[in-house]
Amino acid sequence: MILNAVIWNANPEIFSLGTLSLRWYGLLFALGFVIGYFIFQNFFKREGIAYEYLDKLLVYMAVGTIAGARLGHCFFYDPKYYLSNPLEILEVWKGGLASHGAAIGILLALWLFVRKYKFSYLWLLDRIVIPVALAGAFIRTGNLMNSEIYGVATRSTRGFIYVHDLTRQLERLKAVNSIHYRVTGDSLADGRALPMEVQVTLGSQLRDSSSAALFAELRLREYLANNPLVEETDFYYPPDKDFRYKVEKNAKGRYVVTAYFMGVPKYPTQIFEALSYFAIFLILYGLYLKYGTRLNKGFLFGMFLMLVFAARFLIEFIKEFQSAFEANLPLNMGQLLSIPFIIAGVYFIVQSLRKKGKSVHFAENA
């Protein structure tokens, strides 16, 4: 059965106007804050807390999340580079955010918030983790739309074949009019890749077959010539075989170049993480709605830490390394950073179960 593999070629941009563009990642990131704001409105209403604190809390959360996620990426995964190029730390729009850094940033931001506005730290953490779990699901969906942070080769005919990089390279060429992909076989080559073809319809400026063939030889060959022995490769053509392509003319009189290559099905770990975080959101929110202030402080926070980072730890086993140095570690960086959070989660759950009393938001009753 051929169509177990999904050819993933999502456009990360929703639309663009000149130099300005709206990307799925940015929209979903912002949506997490917006929905979180309304969830917290519900918390405040149920527990009789003035709404005036909401806007202030949103600002602390936004700054803590973005700053923590960016600094976490820079210093957990590539500290040498960013210490040598410190100004690039500020270039958040180029990508590079780490969820472990976001967690640390949120904890610090909320600590500053409760010091100033006299809330109970654990009371606030118990409630903030509910929308944070949902925001995590949105962010991983944004990663899917960006075709980033995905898994290793499935070594089967099932999985996502990420062709985003090839598409973006071809779209930069003025001669390209449209691009289409197709899986052409159901047996694996090299134990992990499926035979595919890419059809590139060229613009009217290429008026003869020799120009189309030159496009295939100079452009497609270059873009497809990846090393098939590297685990991170998404697509390639076998270097020990001739580069195969054909040139045809379609009904509109335009030339179509069809090139044959190999695509590597990979685990869509962004989907696995998004579904895990959404399920955790439902569990935490369900517990809050059912038990409310009867839950001891620290319980929901502990559940969040334990569940989210246990899920992250397990999914990392089928995830590609984000930095080359991780190949020399017994566990990758995401797993090593998850362990302290899991231990902390268990600690807060145990401590909360030992306590008695009603959960209130004032620091004096912490």
**181-192 residue pLDDT tens:** 999 988 998 888
Look up the pTM and report it: 0.84
Question: CA geometry: angle at 239 spanning 234 and 241, to 5°?
Answer: 120
Find the mean pLDDT for residues 41-68: 86
Cα-based torsion angle of the residue sequence 150, 339, 277, 61 in order, rounded to the nearest 10 degrees: -100
Say if residue 358's pLDDT is above 60: no
pLDDT bucket at 364, cuts 50 / 70 / 90? very low
Distances from the Cα of 275 to the Cα of 7, 18, 37, 280, angstroms: 20, 35, 21, 9
Q: Which amino acid is at 343?
A: I
**pLDDT for 101:** 80
Residues 6 or more apart whose CB falls under 8 angstroms from that of 29 comprise: 135, 138, 139, 142
Query: Between residues 237 and 226, which one has the greater pLDDT?
Result: 237
What fold is seen in the domain 159-263? Answer: Threonyl-tRNA Synthetase; Chain A, domain 2 (3.30.980)
pLDDT bucket at 2, cuts 50 / 70 / 90? very low
Residues of the chain with CATH 3.30.980: 159-263
Of all residues in the chain, the percent with pLDDT exceeding 70 is: 90
Of all residues in the chain, the percent with pLDDT exceeding 90 is: 50
Residue 263: half-sphere exposure toward Cβ, Cα within 13 Å: 31
Q: What phi, psi does 332 have (nearest 5°)?
A: -75, 170
R_g of the chain computed on alpha carbons? 25
